[in-house]
């Protein structure tokens, strides 16, 4: 989201104008070994899923700060293999520009030509 602040602001304005509650989730991971600040990746190692810094390759969970939304809460502990697989399989819906025909919520005309999030629908 940091690369498209205009889109973020458009989505926030839409939330403010049309929805009682919504949120934008970001990944705020940190590697204590190299100082990497971004998304710590989940990789497979001999059939097991492990968290790995994409910058230095650190896999020591005691030196990785990872936060993910699970079961409605933001968790900062490491998860079992089943939950880790579910987290790995998640699809990110980045902010992007929509053509007016793609907007599927009632107040689409307000957003015509503005940025929106593909997972963001007020009619659900």
Run means of pLDDT, 10 residues per run, the chain, 124 residues: 82 87 81 96 97 98 93 86 94 56 42 40 37
Cα-based torsion angle of the residue sequence 67, 91, 72, 103 in order, rounded to the nearest 10 degrees: 130
The C-alpha atoms of residue 33 and residue 100 are separated, in whole angstroms, by 46
pLDDT at 94: 63
Length of the chain: 124
**In whole angstroms, what is the distance from residue 27 CA to residue 77 CA?**
14
Residue 14: CB atoms within 10 A of its CB come to 21
Residues 55/57/62/66 CA torsion (nearest 10 deg): 50
Query: Could you say which DSSP state residue 6 is in?
Result: H
pTM here is 0.63
The C-alpha angle with vertex 33 and arms to 31 and 39, in degrees rounded to 5, equals: 20
């Amino acid at each position: 989201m940091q690369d498209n602040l205009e889109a973020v602001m458009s989505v926030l304005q839409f939330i403010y104008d049309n929805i009682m509650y919504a949120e934008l989730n970001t990944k705020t991971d940190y590697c204590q070994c190299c100082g990497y600040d971004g998304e710590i990746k989940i990789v497979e190692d001999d059939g097991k899923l492990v968290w790995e810094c994409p910058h230095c390759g650190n896999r020591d969970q005691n030196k990785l700060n990872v936060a993910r939304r699970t079961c409605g809460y933001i968790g900062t502990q490491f998860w079992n293999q089943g939950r880790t697989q579910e987290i790995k399989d998640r699809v990110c819906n980045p902010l992007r520009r929509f053509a007016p025909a793609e907007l599927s919520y009632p107040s689409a005309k307000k957003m015509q030509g503005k940025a929106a999030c593909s997972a963001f629908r007020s009619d659900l």
